[in-house]
Amino acid sequence: MHLRSVTVINDAIASSIPTLTASFSLRLLFVRILGLSVLFGLGLFSRQPQFTSGIAIPTKQSHFTDTNDFQVLILGGGVTGVIAAETLHRRRIDNFKIIEARPTLGGRMKSFSFGAASRQYVLELGAEWIHGTQTNNGPSNPIYDLARKNNLSIQPNHYRGSMTTYDHTGQVDYMKTFNAAVENFAALTVAGGDRIQRGLMDATTRSGYALLDAKPITPHEVASEYYQFDWEYAQAPEQSSWLASSWANNFTFNCDQGGFSTDNLLTTDQRGFASILQSEAAEFLSEEQVLLNATVKAIKYSNDGVSVSLSDGTSLSADYVLVTFSLGVLQHNDVLFEPALPRWKSEAIHGMSMGIYTKIFLQFPEKFWFDTEFALYADHKRGWYPVWQSLDMDGFFPGSGILFVTVTGDFSKRIESLSDEVVKAEVLAVLHSMYPNTTIPEPDAFYFPRWQSDPLYRGSYSNWPSSFLKGHHTNLRATVERRLWFGGEATSFKYYGYLHGAYYEGQKMAEEIAHCVEDGGCAGLAHVEEVSSSRPYDIAADFM
């Protein structure tokens, strides 16, 4: 609906694209100018991937020899990057390389070992649920397919049916309020879907709730709403689009609307969640097709090709580059683009939001808490250590003594600026409120990641604000100068924020790039030069 009056511009005229052969020789010249022999001397191409233990090592040998000139460079080895590589391989395009800063593939599928020396468990700092599986013969979540293929240990996690409620006075039963919030959220997404059907303008989710007369005031009401909304979208209803949060929910969970199912499966696999992606990679990736421990510093692009500089000073070039770095990384200018990205791209990058979702892990000598899978703590301050999850349970890690609490959004930012000791003291104080008659012991282990401060992520996953229009989204995905492609969870229209969104975007972008390679050039995904929408006010009438 917002596109009615916009100018859609193809990045360039396809007929002016130089043939691949011509661009290839141009790039060879470019590489020679940079001093190819020096790069070889620095040992760039003798670098071996350093997979950490438990990670499948690609063993297949590729049919082409090492060179620093590729048809496609894939920047980032998360879900999008690996699935893009697999898609290219299926299209018989093997002259590509994944460049990843970390020593492993997986990106925000990131596990770690947690616990005292004698009681260690592999847990997930990032993604840990498969959201939506499959209903009958309907569409299946591709992450669920990968999990089944690799016999991943997964456990149904009952978001709404296994809950204990608390506030500052201890355990208090406010399940009636909690269930009302569940119903309000369902009504919100139905009404959001209806609003889309009727072509009405977007609004914040807060407006949506208010129109449904759902106005939380008491700590119990606020915490119950938080659990439905902030805990999923990693930002508050005020910061979120009503329409987009409705469709992200429906397309994932509501099979009547094209979604998979209402299931949420939590991985307990001690190989780590990312093992499903690493095993997939091991089936087609050769050693020469992946460069780990390599941080991209700059991306230089033109109509003729792209050159990528790494932090160790080396440089690689390609016909096409797929950038899969998180939205947060792009927003933070961690990677320099030369020339600077056009205004329409920059507006899109900064128009979408990056939410933060922080799990704070604690291990105690023994379990003293609730026997449900979840607990909700209602404080006077919204988002103050509200959602608790027990892993010391049958089906998860019985006897582990592990409990974790999740905070999101601005509250996550706040704790990232505090020391571990201060955060630990706050968390223990909440446990004291929840269990006023129990002596809470010192935890044996304590850890939380700082996603926002991490230069490889700068946040957890994207969230769609109500000021972000369809044209902006088109621009987030659009190709720059026919050579520079962008993909990742944030570019997914239907499933932004989710693993399956990243999966589909990797597939889609690689399919498009494969067409370009096969056709000897292409215009790329079109952009909108200026995004317009219905204005909230009329400049001529209201300001004169």
Ligand X SMILES: Cc1cc2nc3c(=O)[nH]c(=O)nc-3n(C[C@H](O)[C@H](O)[C@H](O)COP(=O)(O)OP(=O)(O)OC[C@H]3O[C@@H](n4cnc5c(N)ncnc54)[C@H](O)[C@@H]3O)c2cc1C
Contact footprint for ligand X (CB under 6 A): 76-81, 99-102, 107-109, 126-129, 131, 295-296, 324-326, 329, 334-335, 357, 451, 456-457, 460-461, 488-489, 497-499, 501-502
Continuous segment of H or E residues that includes residue 73: strand 69-75
Q: Please state the closest distance from residue 163 (CB atom) to ligand X, in A.
A: 18
**Smallest distance, Å, CB 286 to ligand X?**
19
Q: According to DSSP H, which parts of 198-218 are helical?
A: 205-211
Q: Which is nearer to ligand X, 277 or 393 (CB)?
A: 277
**Cis? peptide before 339, omega within 30° of 0:** yes
Contacts of 118 (CB under 8 A, 6+ apart): none
Nearer to ligand X, 221 or 288 (CB): 288
Instruction: For residue 116, give the nearest of 324, 327, 400 by alpha carbon.
Output: 400
214 vs 484, beta carbon nearer ligand X: 484
Using the minimum distance from each CB to ligand X, give the nearer residue, 79 or 480: 79
Is residue 298 a contact partner of residue 336, using CB atoms and an 8 Å limit? yes
- In whole angstroms, how close is the CB of 450 to ligand X at the nearest point? 11
CB of 407 to ligand X, least distance (A): 11
Q: Say how many C-beta atoms besides its own lie within 10 A of residue 322's C-beta.
A: 29
- C-beta of 475: minimal distance to ligand X in Å? 18
Name the helix (H) or strand (E) containing 469. Answer: none
Q: For the purposes of burial, counting CB atoms within 10 Å of the CB of 14, is it exposed (0-12), middle (13-18) or buried (19 or more)?
A: middle
Residue number with CB closer to ligand X (129 or 388): 129
CB of 108 to ligand X, least distance (A): 3
Q: What is the 3-state secondary structure (H, E, C) of 422-437?
A: HHHHHHHHHHHHHCCC
User: Shortest approach of ligand X to residue 314 CB, angstroms?
Assistant: 13
Q: How far apart are CA 146 and CA 275, in angstroms?
A: 10
DSSP state of 440: P
- Smallest gap, in angstroms, from Cβ of residue 87 to ligand X? 13
CB-wise, 128 or 280, nearer to ligand X?
A: 128
Nearer to ligand X, 6 or 109 (CB): 109
Alpha-carbon gap, residue 326 to 100, rounded angstroms: 13
Which two tokens mark 332? 């933070």
Nearer to ligand X, 334 or 347 (CB): 334
Helix axis angle, 343-351 to 470-477, nearest 10°? 110
The helix, strand and coil proportions of the chain, stated in percent and rounded to the nearest 5, come to: 35, 20, 45
Q: Which is nearer to ligand X, 77 or 272 (CB)?
A: 77
Please calculate the CA angle 509-127-180 and round it to the nearest 5 degrees.
Answer: 110
Residue closest to ligand X when measured from CB atoms: 107
- Residue 333 CB, nearest distance to ligand X (Å)? 11
The answer to whether 303 and 431 are in contact (CB under 8 A) is no
